[in-house]
């Protein structure tokens, strides 16, 4: 199964993150990986037993992709994951959000995509920074506030980042060092183990 094809039960929460990951992968493969990792953890939290239609296959395809991408991008990063995504957010904001001021005002697709991606990036950035105990730069918080304000012009609903977001995905690991975060290998093992238990239960019920 294609890891980009999101099951209907997860599409609202997961698709915007994977869409952003796909669109930025040429700019920064490591940040693209970080976004996909966050999307996987969020999907696993939303449906830990993988009972939704196509969820199990989606998770397996995504975790296999993450294993490959982690190995390919880990050595290419310049900072910790939190600092890497913060640096990229600043770059993205400067190039794609501030750059919209000089864009063709008759084009509505480009601004919408840019704001969607910026919203998804900030969600992941906030979670990863919290997990690694890294302060989100004031410059980034101001940039996100600008994105949220301007997004209303394009009738785009920014992804929710209220109090409930502190219980989602990577943000479940507050005040811990990067070493304390689960690696993709650990997540893959847990997923495969959970799949094994689930399959055994299904056989027993039959």
pLDDT, one tens digit per residue, over 68-98 is 999 999 887 888 999 999 999 999 999 999 8
- Range of the structural domain that residue 35 is part of: 11-205
Query: Across all residues in the chain, what is the average pLDDT?
Result: 79
- Tell me whether residue 3 is in a domain: no
- Tell me whether residue 81 is in a domain: yes
Given pLDDT bands bounded at 50, 70 and 90, which one contains residue 46?
A: very high
Percent of the chain with pLDDT over 90: 53
Burial class (CB in 10 A: 0-12, 13-18, 19+), 105: exposed
Q: What is the pLDDT of residue 189?
A: 62
- Tell me whether residue 1 is in a domain: no
- Tell me whether residue 2 is in a domain: no
Count of structural domains within the chain: 1
- Tell me whether residue 37 is in a domain: yes
Q: Which two tokens stand for residue 15?
A: 């698709």
Rounded to two decimals, the pTM is 0.76
Any idea what the CATH number is for the domain that residue 79 is in?
Answer: 1.25.40.270
Choice between 203 and 27, residue whose per-residue pLDDT is larger: 27
Q: What is the dihedral of CA 35, 95, 115, 74, to 10 degrees?
A: 0
- Tell me whether residue 90 is in a domain: yes
- Tell me whether residue 6 is in a domain: no
Q: What is the pLDDT of residue 124?
A: 97
Q: What is the pLDDT of residue 79?
A: 83
Q: Is the pLDDT of residue 198 over 90?
A: no
- Tell me whether residue 179 is in a domain: yes
* DSSP string over 124-159: HHHHHHHHTT-PPPHHHHHHHHHHHHHHGGGT--PP
């Amino acid at each position: 199964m294609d890891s980009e094809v999101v099951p209907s039960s997860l599409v609202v929460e997961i698709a915007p993150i994977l869409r952003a990951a796909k669109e930025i992968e040429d700019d920064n493969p490591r940040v693209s990986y970080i976004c996909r990792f966050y999307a996987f953890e969020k999907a696993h939290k939303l449906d830990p037993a993988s009972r939704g239609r196509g969820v199990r296959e989606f998770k397996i395809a995504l975790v296999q992709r993450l294993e490959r991408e982690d190995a390919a991008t880990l050595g290419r990063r310049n900072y910790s994951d939190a600092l890497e995504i913060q640096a990229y957010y600043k770059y993205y904001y400067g190039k794609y959000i501030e750059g919209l001021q000089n864009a063709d005002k008759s084009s509505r697709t480009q601004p919408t995509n840019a704001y969607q991606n910026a919203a998804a990036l900030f969600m992941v950035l906030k979670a990863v920074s919290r997990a690694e105990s890294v302060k989100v730069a004031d410059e980034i918080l101001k940039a996100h506030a600008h994105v949220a304000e301007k997004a209303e012009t394009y009738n785009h609903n920014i992804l929710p980042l209220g109090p409930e977001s502190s219980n989602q995905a990577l943000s479940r690991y507050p005040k811990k060092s990067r070493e304390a975060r689960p690696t993709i290998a650990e997540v893959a093992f847990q997923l495969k183990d959970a799949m094994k238990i689930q399959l055994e239960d299904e056989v027993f019920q039959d």
